[in-house]
Every structure is written in structure tokens, then in C-alpha cells.
Structure 1
Amino acid sequence: MRPSLPTLGAPPKRSRTGSVVFVSLLLGGAAGGAYWWKQNKGALPFQSPPPAAVAEASPSAANPAAVQAPTPPPAPVDPLTAAGLSRVSVKIDGPLETALVQASDPSVGPALAQVVTRTLVWWVRVPNEILRGDTLDVLYQLRPNEEPLVHAVRFTSGKTGKTHSAYRFQAPGDGYARFFLPTGEEMEERLEHSPLDDFEQVTSLLRDGRGHKGVDFKAAVGSPVKAPFTGVVKRKNWNFGSNGNCLELEEVGGKRRRALFLHLSELPKSLKPGARFSTGQVLAQSGNSGRSFAPHLHYQLMTQDDRVMDPFDSHRTFRRTLSADQKSSLEAEVRRMDSLLGSAVASGN
């Protein structure tokens, strides 16, 4: 018979109390979960945002310098562009048109030269008195299907030894903008007993180098044309293809001048040779008939032996001057234009 092994201890007895507690906790947790689900049904559990989202929501935390970065300044605006103008500056070393074409554009230069010449002729004879080394600065505006509109001209002349300036300006109450000198005088001379009381510009003179026999006044169709002296109608509407509706008035007594008026509006049939008109009496209305490219009046003076006379030599002339109030407005425009013209072309350039 084997001796019995020593007893190490009987297996522990299970406690019913522990099992009860465990089951109770399990059931309680299940009941609590069910209650939470009913209260938060369909809600998504909270999730921590990714670091990138936190950085976007709080740029100062992720990159403090981003908040302090200054806004870049706007690009500077060119004053000429803002004013809708262009500028050309040249030193003349040959024909004026060539200089302007080289400084601007072949599509602009020829027309610009014609317009600029209308100002230069009041200071020098064109082209003979435009000398090598003369300088010219022009502010102008391009217009579709029209000649450039010049706003300011500055011309330094070797012939006169002066710098001449003229500025486009419309005085209050005037029907047209005209060119004025800084002194407040009109650049263009006016004729006493002129055929037109009002016009936009003298576009051609005998001394402008074109070989034109008369003075062209740019004026609206229908502007009253007046007799410059007392005379009788000698003829009307000859050479219609070139002259359009036209009149010739022969002076009674005095110098016996003959005045030709071309490109008129239609003349009344009642107007016949021999009709007499006094100085200042309305003869007709200006127009755009015959070989004419824009509304204007061609005014031509002739002697009895067919010599051409310059109206600006035959008539007395004057320059209109602005009033004090108008002059102050002109001075403001002169300052604005001078700032856009900038420095004159250096004589050594």
C-alpha cells in the first residue's frame, strides 16, 4: 500500500457573490450603452481634426508671419495712360514729318505732322524756318478714323531764339476748344471783318508751305458766311466739281479786291450775279461741297489782275484774350499739360 502524498491544499471554493457582482456590472454596462444610443441616435462620435486642418483654422498658430505679411502695393499708373494721351519728343534733323514718323509710328506721323504744323505756322514759316536742331514736344490723343487731336505743343526755335508753347483749352461759354498761349491770348490771329464770326480752327494758311491759295476755316456746316467788305456778286457755282457751291464777291471802291468763298452749302436760286452786299451782311452758309474732305470754308482774296493776297496781310488782325476768371482755368490746364510734357528735349540729344 502506497503511502499517501502530502496534501498541498484543496482547490478553492468558488464564491457565488463574485459571480453575481460580475454579471451585474455586465448587465449595467449594456443597459447604459443602450440608453446612450437612444439619446445620441445618428450622431457621429467626435474625431480630432488632423494637424493640417488645425493649421488652416488657425494660421497664426501654424505660421504667425502669414498674418503679418503686407499686401503688395498696386502697380504704378502711367500719368499719360491715365490721361488717355501720347507724347512725342523730337530733335529735328530734317523734314518735320520724317522726325514725327520716326518718333511715333508710320500710321500716325504724317497726320500728326499736318496737325502740328497748324500751330507752328503762327511762330515760324513752314517749312523754311524750321531749322536743324529745333526741338518739339507734343501731347496728342489718337482717335479712330480721325486725325490726332493735339492737346499741347512746345517748340524751341532756332529762328526766333525762343521756346513757344500752346495749349488746347475750351473757355466757358465758347463753342469750340482753341489753342491758347500761356498768357491767355489765343494762338491764332483773328481777322477784322472776318467771313466767319466763329470757327473751330484755321487749318490752312498761305504761309504753311502747302501752296494753298486761300485760308481754310474749320467750321460746322451752316455757319453764317459774311461779306468782308461791301461788294457785288460777280459769279456763283463755277467749277462745281472742285469748288462745290461757291461765290465771288467784288469789292465796290477801295482796293477793288475779289473774295472767293468755296465749299458752301446750297445757294438759293434767287442769288444772282449783280446782287449787292454790305460789310458784315450774311452771304451764305458754310458747307462741305465739292472737293472737300471735312466741313470748312475756303476764303481767298485776289487782286483785279489775279494775284493771290494773304487775308492776314490784307485784313487788320487781333488776338482774343481770356477774362481773368477764364485765365485762371487756363493756368490750371497749363500746369497739368506741362507736368505731362515733362522736360524739354535736350539740345544735345
Structure 2
Amino acid sequence: MRPPLPTLGPQPKKSPVGPVMVVSLLLGLSAGGVWWWKQRLTSEKPPAANEQPVTPPVAMGSGDTGAAPHPASPNPAPAAAAATAPAPMVPDSAKATGLAHASVRIDGPLETAMVVAAGPEIGPALAQVVTRTLVWWVDVPGDLRRGDTLDILYETRPNEEPLVHAVRFTSNKTGQTHRTYRFQAESDKNPRYYLPSGEELELRLENSPLDDYEQVTSLLRDGRRHKGVDFKTPVGTPVKAPFAGVIRRKNWSFRFNGNCLELEETGGKRRRAIFLHMDELPRSVKVGDRFATGAMLGRSGNSGRSFAPHLHYQLEVGEDRVLDPYETHRTYRRSLPAAQRPTLEVEIRRLDGLLGTTVAGG
């Protein structure tokens, strides 16, 4: 037989007083209920024609528990005391635009935080997409800190990765709140991510293999141990030589690389540029052919082990030593033309309104 659980303190002795008290209490509650009901009927009589009903103020905020409001005091407190009331809750108007709002506090892996905020179906993919913006401010995951907060406006699409419209990132590493917004400039084929200053979020490469693309989807410093830069761009985008060089290889390891080229620099640096997942290469391009800087080598594609149209651009030197294109090329940030800044500012205000105040735990 299992022994009884221990109790705190001595066991009280049974007394006849207990039942008597219970009966008395029930009778008292019944009488009080009748009195309360009569008072309620009296208070619900409509006011006279010259009287205005008093509606007590109700502060609805994130800390609202649903309790009934207290009646208004005949001697209201000074205005300064209102500052202690809960702040009004920002309405979730993002849903009305077809967007979802994720607000997270990072206390471990970024993907874990995204799964908690957006669910297991969207979270992992959303973490990858958001990382593409974070890497322009910090190294991921090395520079993420506990207590960093993220607010994201995103759109879910069938059989496609989430489309992020705005990111607000408060970093304990930099001590700043970083923001970026997706915006389509009139002169651009693709939307880009812009900073509040009107500059593009992403750095561009001088003598880039692509004149135009939608987004950089992978960098050497994004934690994926990727050896190159992936440019998201439609099939058929012209691919150009980043320097003067000679073709050393063509279409090797096709199963993984797809249509590919290796261009060796003819100058003193002797760098090698590797282009993977290209569209079908012209038969006229052969090993030993020479190309000047900016000359067209072929077009981007989606061949080999590729899950979406893009160009993989990789730089090496010596015995397969990988170089970071963003440390090898000169870089710059392109700014939005002044005439289009007012339109961007309107969009920023709209998206900031949908982001609202962060609800991530502090």
C-alpha cells in the first residue's frame, strides 16, 4: 500500500463549527445576491433627457486581461498618471494586405525562433530568406546575440519561398536598429531592398558578371559554407567576364554544375572565375578562347543541381584557394534617383505602419 503524501503542519481536529459556518456563509451570499440584482435593475434605467450617460474609459493594450473596467472616478487623476496605463494595441492590419507579420526574440538558432513565430511549415524557409538581408549588417550566425529582435513582413506563396517585404532588426552586436524595404524603382526590372537612406541594401560589384539581378541569395559569410556568390536572376540574363582571361574548362561535372565555364585571368593576379548553372552555352565558346573584361560569355540558367534560376559566381587563386568576391572586387551601393525618393518614403511609411511596435519579448 502506497503511504499517504506528507502534509505541511499538524492535522487539524474535526470540529462541528465548520458545517455551521458554511451554512451561514451560503445564506449571506444569497441575501447579498438579491440586493445586488435590485441595484442593477435600478442602475439600468435610461437617463433623463437632460442627462448624458457616462462611459468609463477603457485602456485596451497588450496587457489587457478582459476584466471589467473600473467606473470613472469623480476626481480623475492628473494627466501624467495616464502614462502608466497599457499602450493601445496596434491593430493587425498586415493581414488585410495579404502579408504576415512575424516578431521574434532570438534566444538560440535563428531557424528555431522563426519556427516559433511562423510555424514549422514556413519558419525554416523564412529564416533562409531573412538571412539574405541580415548578412549585410552582421555575420550570420556568428554575430547574432541573445536578445536580438526581428520584425518581418512577409508573403507566403504556393510552391515558392516566402517573399519578404520589410525587415526590422535590432542588434546587440551593432547597438543599432537596422531596416530594409522591398521596393520596385521605375527604372529597374526587378524589385530591390532599400535602406531608409534611399541606398540599396546590397553592395554591388564593379565589373560584376551580371549587370542586373534580383537579389544575392548566398554569400561566403552567410554561414552556409558556400564557396561562391549566388545571384537570383531569370534564365537568359547575360553573363560577362569580370576580367580579361582565357577559357580553361567548359561543362565539367555536369550533373552538379550544369552548363559551366572557368575563366583564368591573363593579368598578374591569375585569378580563376567559375560560372555554374548557366543556360546552354554557345558551341562557338571553346577552351582556349580569350575574352576581354565585360565581354559576354553566355547566359544564366537553371541547369545542374539548381533549384531556381540563378548564377553561381566563384573566385579562386593558386591551389583552389577560394576568394570572396566582395573582398576582391571594388564595391559600391547604388542610390535611388532623387525623383523617386518620395515614392519610396511613402512605401516606407506604409510598411512601418504594418510593422507597428515590436511585440518580441524584451
Q: What band does the TM-score fall into relative to the shorter chain?
A: 0.7 to 0.9
Measured in 2, the distance between the counterparts of 1:317 and 1:306 equals 24
Taking the aligned partners of 2:93 and 2:250, their CA distance within structure 1 comes to 53
How far apart, in 2, do the equivalents of 1:345 and 1:228 lie?
45
Say whether residues 1:112 and 2:121 are aligned partners.
no
Q: For residues 242 and 119 of structure 2, what CA distance do their matches in structure 1 show? A: 42
**Structure 1: distance between partners of 2:318 and 2:296:** 23
The structure 1 residue matched to 2:135, chosen from 121, 136, 139, is 121
Matched, 1:87 2:101: yes
Identify the residue that residue 245 of structure 1 maps to in structure 2: 259
CA contact (8 A) 2:92 2:354 kept: no
Q: Is contact 2:315–2:324 with CA below 8 Å preserved after alignment? A: yes
Q: Does the alignment pair 1:285 with 2:285?
A: no
Matched, 1:295 2:309: yes
Q: Distance in 1 between matches of 2:96 and 2:127?
A: 24
Q: Which amino acid aligns with 2:139?
A: R
1:347, distance to aligned residue in structure 2 (A): 5.8
Determine the C-alpha separation between the residues in 1 that align with 2:228 and 2:357. 37
Q: Does 2:241 match 1:200?
A: no
Bigger Cα displacement from structure 2, 266-275 vs 117-126: 266-275
Q: Please give the residue correspondences for 1:219-230 in structure 2 after superposition, counting only pairs within 5 Å.
A: 219-230=233-244
Q: Are 1:232 and 1:277, in contact at CA under 8 Å, matched by a contact in 2?
A: yes
What residue is the counterpart of 2:149 in the other structure? Answer: 135
Question: What secondary structure, in the 3-state scheme, does the structure 2 residue paired with 1:98 have?
Answer: helix
Query: What secondary structure, in the 3-state scheme, does the structure 1 residue paired with 2:94 have?
Result: helix
State the Cα distance separating 1:184 from its structure 2 match.
0.1
Once the two structures are TM-superposed, the CA of residue 270 in structure 1 deviates from its matched residue by: 2.2
Which structure has the highest helix share of the two?
A: 1
Pick closer, same or farther for the CA change 1:346–1:110 going to 2, 3 Å. closer
Mapped partners of 1:98, 1:197: distance in 2 = 36
Superposed CA RMSD in Å reads 1.0
For residue 180 of structure 1, the aligned residue among 194, 197, 202 is 194
SS in 1 for 2:262: strand
Corresponding residue number in structure 2 for 1:151: 165
Contact 1:91–1:345 (8 Å) recurs in 2: no
Taking the aligned partners of 1:187 and 1:269, their CA distance within structure 2 comes to 38
Q: Is the CA contact (8 Å cut-off) linking 1:135 and 1:345 kept in structure 2?
A: no
Output the CA distance in 2 between the equivalents of 1:138 and 1:254.
46
- Return the alpha-carbon distance in structure 2 between the equivalents of residues 281 and 265 of structure 1: 17
Which protein has the larger Cα radius of gyration, Structure 1 or Structure 2?
A: 1
**Cross-structure match for 1:191:** 205
Distance in 2 separating the partners of 1:106 and 1:293: 21
In the alignment, what sits opposite 1:103?
A: 117
Q: What are the residue-to-residue correspondences of 1:320-335 with 2, within 5 Å?
A: 320-335=334-349
**In 2, Cα distance between the equivalents of 1:260 and 1:128?**
28
CA–CA separation in structure 1 for the residues paired with 2:195 and 2:328: 24
Amino acid at match of 2:228: G
Partner of 1:271: 285
Q: CA deviation at 1:344?
A: 2.5
TM superposition outliers: structure 1 runs of 4+ over 3 Å = none
Residue segments in structure 2 that go unaligned for 5+ positions in a row: 1-90
Decide whether the 8 Å contact of 1:136 with 1:345 is kept in 2: no
Task: Within 5 Å, give how 1:57-72 maps onto structure 2.
Answer: none
Give the structure 2 partner of residue 44 of structure 1: none
TM-score, L = length of structure 1: 0.77
The Cα offsets for residues 27-46 of structure 1, whole Å up to 9 and x where unpaired, read as xxxxxxxxxxxxxxxxxxxx
Q: Contact (CA 8 Å) 2:104, 2:113: kept in 1 or not? A: yes
Q: Secondary structure at the match of 1:148?
A: strand
Q: CA–CA distance in 2 between the matches of 1:241 and 1:161? A: 45
Structure-2 residue corresponding to 1:344? 358
Contact 2:271–2:315 (CA under 8 A) maintained in structure 1: yes
Give 1:321's aligned amino acid: S
The percent identity for this pair of structures is 69
TM-score (norm 2): 0.74
Pair 1:309-2:323 in alignment: yes
